[in-house]
Amino acid sequence: MTRALAGGGGAVEVPLPTRRATRELGRALARVLRPGDLVVMSGALGAGKTFLTRATCRALGVPARVPITSPTFTLVQEHAGALAIAHADLYRLSGPAELRHLGLREARDSRLVIVEWGEPYVEALGGDAVLVRLEAHPRRATVSATGRGAEATVTALAALGLGVEPSR
């Protein structure tokens, strides 16, 4: 049994021993995310940023026939599910100037924005982000917030009961 616990700083830690566990986290995120939210997925290559993004998009109703991949070369892919989603991978971004051309901040007017490798750009993207830090050894996610709206989202996520208390 795992217990839902928001840690001291409001972070939620979720063990992800199996792909199924990661899909479950995607379903939980899908229940609490809303248009205008910014989710930043961080972690090393292969940590599962795209896998969790795909799981979240599927749970939001993006059909299985629509590929959800790391949009490294197009940088941004748009998807339609229960809500409109913009998915970006900023690994190859040259800097903040290029970011402005992507229109991701504007996308938050109407869309859920999910960004891989987006940590340096949280403020440029309007701040108030849900940060999902993924680790592969062992596999787990630590979900935290950088603003009030995101804090409410993380609290709602914790209430769904898949987190455990962050280890020290």
Give the nearer residue to Mg ion in terms of CB position, either 54 or 108.
Answer: 54
* Shortest distance (Å) from residue 116 CB to ligand ATP: 6
Cα 64 to chain centroid distance, Å, stands at: 19
CA distance 109 to 101: 16
111: contact with Mg ion by CB under 5 A: no
**Binds Mg ion (CB under 5 A): choice among 42, 50, 77, 153:** 50
Please check whether residue 136 is in contact with residue 46, taking contact to mean a CB–CB distance below 8 angstroms. yes
87: contact with ligand ATP by CB under 6 A: no
What is the sign, positive or negative, of the torsion defined by CA atoms of 70, 75, 77, 83? positive
Task: Report residue 30: phi and psi, to 5°.
Answer: -60, -30
Q: Given the rule CB under 5 A, which of 14-22, 25-33, 41-49, 150-158 is the region that contacts Mg ion? A: 41-49
Contact set with Mg ion (CB under 5 A)? 49-50, 70, 116
